[in-house]
Amino acid sequence: MRGRLIRPMVATIARLSTYAIEHDSQAPGGSGYDHDFREPVVVPTADGIGVPDRKELEAVDVRCQVEMRSYEELRQGSTGNMPPDSLTLVLHFCDLEAQALVDPLTRRPLFCTGDRLVSLSKCTGELTQSFPDPPGMFATQVQPRFGLGGERNLLLIEFQARDRGLLRV
């Protein structure tokens, strides 16, 4: 018995394609992926605010359970309110396996940090909320969970908003 999700919804997630970033990049120097920081490099623009050289695979819809951490919490900074938006999606490995979102050799989920949450919908298809980019909601943690009997049954993905900053002052 592997359990089930509580109040399931559908999340649309755009997975980061590090292969495409590294081999098909517009970034200075050729590669658009920074191996030290494990993220896409920022390509300078005329206005001083860079854009990440980000390439994504086709977005996938997965059943999930949504757990809110904080959303639009008042947190003042020198430039105004900077809310630390954060939410966690709980996905069931049965659903991931049925959609071929688990690597058949390593049995690891195909989601990783840097994936972007596009939207949340009801199971009927009605849009509940979309997450515009920028600022975007990006996966900062992907963690499998084990249930009764040591059976790996859940995958937790934490998403956080990431505002863009200036490249120069």
Q: Is the pLDDT of residue 52 over 60?
A: yes
Residue 117: what residue type?
Answer: L
DSSP E strands, the chain: 9-14, 33-34, 39-40, 42-43, 51-52, 60-70, 76-77, 80-81, 86-92, 116-121, 127-130, 137-146, 152-161
* Of 2, 29, 9, the residue nearest 120 (C-alpha): 9
Which tens digit of pLDDT belongs to each residue from 55-91?
A: 889 999 999 999 976 555 555 555 555 555 789 999 9
Q: What is the pLDDT of residue 61?
A: 98
Q: Of the candidates 158, 168, 145, which has an alpha carbon nearest to the alpha carbon of residue 11?
A: 158
- The model carries a pTM of 0.78
Sorted by where each begins, the domain ranges of the chain are 9-14+58-161
**What is the reported pLDDT for 3?**
73
- Assess contact for 97 and 110: CB atoms under 8 A: no
H or E segment and range at residue 96: helix 93-98
Give the model's pLDDT for residue 166: 45
Give the pLDDT band (50/70/90) at residue 9.
Answer: very high
Q: Is the pLDDT of residue 161 over 70?
A: yes
pLDDT in tens, 89-147: 999 999 999 999 999 999 999 999 989 999 999 999 999 999 988 778 999 999 999 87
The answer to whether residue 168 scores a pLDDT higher than 50 is: no
Report which listed range, 14-23, 45-54, 109-118, is most confident. Answer: 109-118
